[in-house]
Structure 1
Amino acid sequence: MESISSSQDPPDRELSGDEEALMKELERAGLPRREFLKIASLTGTGLLGVQLMATRSARAQAPAPIIKESSEAVAAFLPVDLHVNGTVHKVKLDPRTALLDALRETLGLTGTKKGCDHGQCGACTVIVDGKRVLSCLTLAAQAEGKVIRTVEGLAGDNLHPMQEAFIKHDSFQCGYCTPGQLCSAVALLDEAQRGEASFVTSDLSSRSTDLTEDEIRERMSGNICRCAAYPQIVAAIREVQSGGESARTWGFAPCQQLAETGKESAHEAV
């Protein structure tokens, strides 16, 4: 009886579960089913397992393909003029770029914070044409030609009165939400002066800027503070709207005074 040589195709046979799984892996690696059956018939699945391991190792060590930007992709970048804090920045951006990312990543203005990135926390609030805007939900291209003011643009030679009041009333702890809180608070007072009502405004005919605590809380409800400094934030805003920001009674203690205070505290502890 003539024996079957190694060069002849082996007959199809039912594969075990392990062989079936191994064959699928090797087929993805480029090994035909007939070749798999031939090797399995002559040497068993052990050699095939070694071949599979070698294939996986080679793939892992292969360099990642270099993807070059096509001319079409480069041409898709949109020239945008952003007027931020008194300076016009001419940039080229992906049309999908959010104003928040343009400010932070392109212009390096990292005062504006990325919190939830879904318009829920208010950390990314900036002022655009005098109104509060969630920069994470606003395309940079939408802000072209508009006057953008971030927390970096609030202070001049001196701190903005709202910044002074926040420091005085200790209106922050970790400070992550503070840039958005400040921008929102500054724009809030401008909105009240323009006569814009809120959900709790009782007299829609009045344009009074003497906002109640409930008014301030409602108008600031889009800015979340995880440290729960809400009472201090409200106090700071009420002081600024009343004009009390000019009467600053605090200051930074010099190093000598801090050292003497530390010594007195140590003596009292003893």
Structure 2
Amino acid sequence: MNKLNLLLLSLSLGMVATTASAGIVTLYDQDFENPNGFVNGFGSGYDDLSQQQVNDLYGGQQGLTFAQANTVETAFLTGTEAFNTGYKDPSVTGGNYAIGMLSSVNNDLLGMSFGFSLGTNDFFNLGIDVSSLGLSGGSGAPFSDGSAPEFKFTLYSDKGLDGLGSGSILGQYFLTGTASALNTLDWTRGLFSFDASGDNDGNVTLQIDLLSGGYAVLDNILITSSDTPTVSVPEPSTIALLGLGLLGLGFARRKKVLG
């Protein structure tokens, strides 16, 4: 084994030990592959979308409730409705369904409310995949404007649940994806640790807002709590990327298998 491999191995073992000692607890793990009663094109004019409320399709799964502003919807990625073939997904990350949002026309917002006790864990950790998306079918409906999607994630210390976020802001992060071809999904993974030590009643809401890109989707949400931050954002070096990949003992997200 050469020196570089020995270095990478020692770094990876160190990262694993740090992660394992962080007291990581999985709070929510959602790939959106099991919507309750999905209906293609419901009210949207687009066969590859449903405008049913996110909470109607996914609320109650793993005890989580959603709230939304405007037309946050569920996209059917693999059916023949989109471009007659379905969307191309070279990394096989998106699976069959993802959540779509607008950055213009409407200010779409998605709220995810959690009621739990952090106990000794002060950090609320988020893993999420995002991609631009160009819609097919219909007329006059929103579509990707050709720019890269930028998402904003805000964690609120709520006084209650089932909203878009209220109370004090515990933390905020931004994630910018890539501008892909209209019929192609090009996923960007975001990993963030929010310091939730300022929350004192066990209720928090994660608000998701698409700031630019026209239209984009999100998928593969993993929420954990831990007593130390599980990620550093951003660290673009090769060693840092290796470390992020090795969060698999408690934080990595499996790729979905198309059904």
TM-score over 0.5 (shorter chain)? no
User: TM-score range with shorter-chain normalisation?
Assistant: under 0.3
When the two structures are superposed, what TM-score results if normalisation uses the length of structure 1?
Answer: 0.19
Q: Per chain length, whose mean CA-contact separation is higher, i.e. which structure has more relative contact order (CA < 8 Å, sep 6+)?
A: 2
Larger radius of gyration: 1
Higher helix share: 1
When the two structures are superposed, what TM-score results if normalisation uses the length of structure 2?
Answer: 0.20
